[in-house]
Amino acid sequence: MGRLPVVFVHGFCQSSAYWQPACRRLEECGCDGLAIDLPGFAGAADLPGPYTMEGYADWLAGWLTVRGTGRIVLVGGSMGGVVAQHFVLRHPERVARLLLVATGAVAGDPAGALQKADAMEAASWDEAAVIPIVAGFFHVPPPPDALARYRRIALEARQRAAVAAARSNARSDTVARLVEIGCPTLIIQGRHDRARTPEHGALMRSRLPHAKLVVLEGSGHTPQLEEPDAFHAAALPFLLAGRNGTLD
Range of the domain at 173: 6-247
Residues 104, 36 contacting (CB under 8 angstroms): no
> For the segment 157-173, what is each residue's pLDDT rounded down to a tens digit?
999 999 999 999 999 99
Residues 222, 18 contacting (CB under 8 angstroms): yes
Residues 126, 147 contacting (CB under 8 angstroms): no
Inside any domain, residue 1: no
Number of domains within the chain? 1
* Type of residue found at 76: G
The SS3 of residue 215 is strand
Inside any domain, residue 122: yes
Closest-CA residue to 153 (of 52, 245, 20)? 20
Inside any domain, residue 190: yes
- Segment 44-50 shows an average pLDDT of 96
Q: Which residues contact 112 (CB under 8 A, 6 or more apart)?
A: none
Inside any domain, residue 39: yes
* Predicted local confidence at residue 238, as pLDDT: 97
Residue 98 Cα distances to 67, 94, 139, 146, 160, angstroms = 20, 11, 25, 28, 29
57-71, 90-104, 160-174, 230-244: the lowest-pLDDT one? 230-244
Closest-CA residue to 149 (of 34, 15, 3)? 15
* Type of residue found at 79: M
Above 70 in pLDDT, residue 242?
Answer: no
CATH number of the domain within which 241 lies: 3.40.50.1820
Inside any domain, residue 213: yes
Inside any domain, residue 174: yes
Inside any domain, residue 192: yes
Residue 150 Cα distances to 48, 95, 113, 123, 127, angstroms = 23, 29, 21, 20, 11
- Residues β-bridged to residue 242: 247
